[in-house]
Amino acid sequence: MAEPIIIANEAEVFAGKVVTFSYRQDGIRREGILLRTKDGLRSYENVCRHLPVKLDLGSKYFLTLGQDAILCQSHGAIFELETGLCTRGPCEGASLKALPIEVRSGQVMLLIRDEVE
């Protein structure tokens, strides 16, 4: 089993901030996002469930104006922060791909097999 990879210091992930990171899974370079919700930290793959494009389209803007949901910049789909569930938009009912994370000694670890680049 591969060692988990540090993707952020927990203290740096405050409400309203979205941390991005790269990793490889199944030999493919991917991007993840990490954010704080009222239920704790959550991480998702940075890919919309409507079309295979980055949620932010490279802009680094991931949240709605009220910072209470994730927004896909392409067609305006809205996803819950805590669950990744799409509640409005063309992929309503689908969920973002959640990434497994864990906090150890103040470090947020990504628990997947391949390495962060």
Structure tokens at 82: 């805590």
Beta carbon nearer to ligand FES, 25 or 74: 74
Per CB under 6 A, does 77 bind ligand FES? yes
Q: 64: burial class by Cβ within 10 Å (0-12, 13-18, 19+)?
A: middle
Name the segment binding ligand FES (CB under 6 A); options: 13-21, 26-34, 48-56, 92-100. Answer: 48-56
Alpha helical stretches, state H, 44-116: none
For residue 5, give the amino acid letter.
Answer: I
Min CB(2)–ligand FES separation in Å: 31
Per CB under 6 A, does 50 bind ligand FES? yes
Question: What 3 state SS string does 34-48 have?
Answer: EEEECCEEEEEECCC
Residues engaged in binding ligand FES (CB under 6 A):
48, 50-51, 53, 72, 74-75, 77, 89-90
